[in-house]
Chain A
Amino acid sequence: MTEREAAQRVGIDHVDPVAAVVADTDLAAFVAEQYDRLVRLGRLVCRDGADAADAVQLGLEQAWRRRATLRDDARLRPWLDRIVVREAIRIARSRQSLLGRFVTPRPDVAWIEPADQRMDQLPAWSALRAAFARLSAEQRAVVALHLYMGYSVIETAELVGAPIETVRSRLRLAKDRLRSELEERES
C-alpha cells in the first residue's frame, strides 16, 4: 500500500489529486498493467527516471489511442516497447549533447564517490554501474532489450530499427566494454 492509497483509505480526500484526474478507470488499469515494465526499460536506457517517464508517456498515449487495433497482447507489448525504447534513445542522446544539457537541465540522481579512504573499496557492483552508464544509449538499449527484456537479437533489431548485424555488434561491443572495465579495475 502506497502513501496515497493509505491516505485514501483513511478518507483524506485532499491527498490524492491524481485520483480525481484519472476518471477513466479503463485507462488507469491499462497504464497500471504496462507501466512498471516500460518505465524500467526506459530507465535502463535513459539513466533517469523523469526522462524514462516522458518516453513511457509517449508510448502509452499512442497505444491508448490505437487500443482498438492492438488488443492482442502479443502485438501490443513489442509495439509499445519499440516506441518507448526509440524515444528513450532519442531523449538520452539529446541529453548527452552540450546544448541539450544546457537548455534542459534536469534533476538526476548522481552517485558521488566518497572522498574518504575508508570507503575506497567500492564493490564491483558500483564499477559495473558506472561502466554501464558510460555505454551509448544505443548500446544500453540493445543490452536492455536482449538481456533484460528477453527479446531475441532479431526481435531487438526490429524494435530499435537497426540491421541485425548492427545489433549483434552493439551487443558484443557493449559486453566487451563492460567486461574489460571490470577486469581493468580488478587488475
Chain B
Amino acid sequence: MSIDTSEDRFDRDLRRFLERQAAELDGSPSAAEMAARVAATVGRRSFVPPSQRLVWIVAVLGLLLAAVIAFMVGSQENRKIAVVLPSLSTSTSPASPAPSAVIGLPHRNGPIVVLGGTGRVAVDPVSGAISDYGSVTCTPGGSLCADPNQTRPLLDFQGSGTSVSWSPDGTKLASQYAGAVWVLDTLTNDAVRVTSAAATQGWPHQVVTWSPDGSHLAFADGGEIYTVNVDGSQRTEITHFGGSLAASQPAWSPDGSRIAFTLIGTGADASIASIDVDGTGLRTIVGSGVRVSSPVWSPDGSRLAYLYPDFAPDATGVAGSAELVTVRPDGSERTVVFTVANCCINFIGGDAAWSPDGTRIATILPGLDGYSLYVMDPRGTHVVQLVKGVDPEYPAWRPIP
C-alpha cells in the first residue's frame, strides 16, 4: 500500500489504515464471551477493570513480593515440562495406550524452519532473525537436487506443496517430493529416498511425521495413512477408507501409540481423527462442516492443535476469519486459542507447529496482506508476529536435545 501524505489525500489514506488496523489483530474475546462476562457481573457488583484494581499503596508494597512470586512461578513452570518419548509399539492394545516414558531434560526450542520467498529459512522464535537453515547445497544431477537440471536442494523446492518435519533428535528432515518420501540428514547432507512411490494425495499439503523414537515415518498416499521404517522397509497401510474418505496430514502422538490426521469428506467438510498405529481404534476427534486441517500434538500429548477456517463473510461482507484451536485427544475442551479476524475470503493451507518444549505454538495464518508466522503461548497469549510479507509456509520447529 502506498500512502499519499499530501494534505487532501492523507485523511483518506488514514481512514483506510484505521479501518484495517481496527480489525487486524484480534486478541479480544468473541461477542458471546463478552456477553458472558457482562452477564456474570450484571446483577452483582459493577465490573472493575483489572487496571483499576491496582491501588498504589498495594502496588508499591507488593512490588518485591510480586517479583519473588513471579520468579518462583516461572521456576515451577519450567520443572513441569517433560518430554514424553516412548518407543514405538505396534502391539499396543487400543483400550490401553502405551505407558509414557519420561526421559531426561526437555528438548529446547531451536529455530522454526519455514518456506519463505527465497527458499526455506530458519526463523529465530524469539528475535525473529532470519537466516538460511543450513548449508545444504545441491550439485546438479545429485540426489539432493529437486530436478537433475536444477541447482536447488529438493527440500528448498517451491511450489511442490511439501512440508518438512524434524526428526526427534533434530538432525534429519523428512519430506515428500516427486512421488516419494525423502529423509535429509542435515549433518551430512545425505538425502535418502525412503519410498519408491508415495504421496500422491494430501490436503491441503503433504506431511510426513516421525515416530517419537525416530525409527518410523508416517505419510499419506492416495487418501490412506501408511507407516514405514526409515530404511524403507515394512510399508504398512493403517487406514482403509477405500476412497470414500481421504486421510492426510498425519501427526504421530508423542507416546507413539496413535496417529492423528485430517479426514476429508466428499464435500467441503473435514474432520480431525486418530487411529492406533496398528490400524485399530479409529476415532473422530473433531467433526466439522468446514475444512479443519493441520493437526499437531503438544509434546506431552495432552492436546492437539489444528486450524479452523471460517470462510463465511463477516457482517460487512468483506472477509472471514482463521482460527487456531486446541482440543484434548478425546475431543473435549475445544479452545479457540487465536483468531485472525476479517482476514480472508477464503484460504487453503496454513499450518501449525508446537514448540519442542511445549510452551509455544507457531502458526501460519492468512491476513489481508498475505500469510504471517505467529508464535504464542498455548493459551493464545504473548502473541508475536514473526514473519510477514513473504507468505511463509510449512513451519517445522527444530528440537534441540
Chain A residues with a Cβ under 8 A of chain B = 1-4, 6-7, 9-10, 12, 14-16, 18-19, 21-24, 27-28, 31-32, 35-36, 39-44, 48-58, 60-62, 64-65, 87, 90-91, 94-95, 99-100, 102-104, 107-116, 118-119, 122-125, 128-129, 132, 143-144, 147-148, 175, 178-179, 182-183
Known: A52-B28, A57-B47, A118-B118. A6 touches B289 (CB 8 A): yes
Q: A116 CA to B382 CA in the complex, in Å?
A: 23
User: Please, what's the 1-or-0 string for B323-349, where 1 marks a CB less than 8 Å from any CB in chain A?
Assistant: 101000001111010000000000000
The digit string for B2-33, where 1 denotes a CB below 8 A from any CB of A, is: 11010000110011011101110111111111
Give the nearest-CB partner of B59 in chain A: A103
The docked-state distance in angstroms from the alpha carbon of A33 to that of B366 is: 27
A12-B31 in contact (CB<8A):
no
Partner of A148, one of B19, B34, B127: B19
* Chain A facing B: main interface SS: helix
Which residue of chain B lies nearest to A122 when distances are taken between CB atoms in the complex? B389
**Is B31 within 8 A of A35, CB to CB?**
yes
The count of residues in chain B whose C-beta lies closer than 8 Å to any C-beta of chain A is: 82
Given contacts A4-B32, A6-B289, 9 further A-B contacts (CB under 8 A): A10-B287, A16-B32, A52-B28, A53-B29, A55-B49, A61-B38, A99-B59, A112-B386, A144-B18
Residues in A neighbouring B27, C-beta threshold 8 A: 48-50, 107-109
Residue pair B51, A115 in contact (C-beta under 8 Å) = no
Partner among B11, B15, B54, B308 whose Cβ is within 8 Å of the Cβ of A104: B54
CA distance A129 to B63 in the complex (A): 33
A44/B118 in contact, CB under 8 A: no
A-B contact pairs, 18 of them (CB 8 A): A12-B331, A18-B33, A32-B31, A49-B28, A50-B28, A60-B34, A103-B62, A107-B27, A107-B377, A107-B382, A109-B25, A114-B386, A116-B130, A125-B3, A129-B21, A147-B18, A148-B18, A148-B22
A110 to B32, CA, bound (A): 26
Q: Mark B270-310, 1 if CB is under 8 A from A, else 0.
A: 00000000000000000111100000000000000000101
Name the residue on A nearest B332 (C-beta): A14
User: Within the assembled complex, what's the spacing in Å between the Cα atoms of A114 and B41?
Assistant: 43
CA distance A94 to B59 in the complex (A): 13
Given the interface pairs A43-B22, A143-B18, the reply to whether A4 lies near B1 with Cβ below 8 Å is no
Question: Is the CB–CB distance between B385 and A22 below 8 Å?
Answer: no
Tell me, in angstroms, the Cα distance from A41 to B383 when the chains sit together: 21
Is the CB–CB distance between A64 and B42 below 8 Å?
yes
Residues of chain B at the chain A interface (Cβ within 8 Å)? 1-3, 5, 10-11, 14-15, 17-19, 21-23, 25-42, 46-47, 49-52, 54, 56, 59, 62-63, 66, 117-118, 121, 124, 127-131, 287-290, 308, 310, 312, 315, 321, 323, 325, 331-334, 336, 369, 377, 380-390
A49 to B376, CA, bound (A): 15
- Residues of chain A within 8 A (CB-CB) of B388 are 111, 114
Tell me whether B28 and A22 are in contact (CB under 8 A): no
Residues of A within 8 A of B1 (CB): 123-125
Residues from chain A with a CB closer than 8 A to the CB of B26 are: 43, 49
Question: What is the distance, in angstroms, from B261's C-beta to the closest C-beta of chain A?
Answer: 19
Distance of A49 Cα from B27 Cα, bound (Å) = 4
Give the complex CA separation of A31 and B56 in angstroms: 33
Closest to B116 in A: A118
Q: Across the interface, which residues of B come within 8 angstroms of A115, CB to CB?
A: 124, 127-130
Complex interface: chain A residues within 8 A of B15 (CB): 147-148
A97 CB, nearest partner CB in chain B, Å: 10
Verify A179–B49 contact, CB threshold 8 A: no
Nearest CB in chain A: distance from B120 CB, A: 13
Q: Assess whether B51 is in contact with A54, with CB atoms less than 8 Å apart.
A: yes
Contacts of B118 in A (CB 8 A): 118
Given A111-B385, A118-B118: A183 touches B31 (CB 8 Å cut-off): no
CA gap between A186 and B118 in the complex, in Å? 26
Query: Smallest distance from the beta carbon of B146 to chain A beta carbons, Å?
Result: 21
* Contact between chains at A1 and B14 (CB < 8 Å): no
Other-chain residue from B19, B36, B389 in contact with A21 (beta carbon distance below 8 A) = B36
Give Cα distance in the complex from A46 to B59, angstroms. 22
Known: A44-B18, A91-B51. A36 touches B39 (CB 8 A): no
Which residue of the partner chain A has the closest CB to B67?
A: A102
Complex alpha-carbon distance, A24 and B39, angstroms: 8
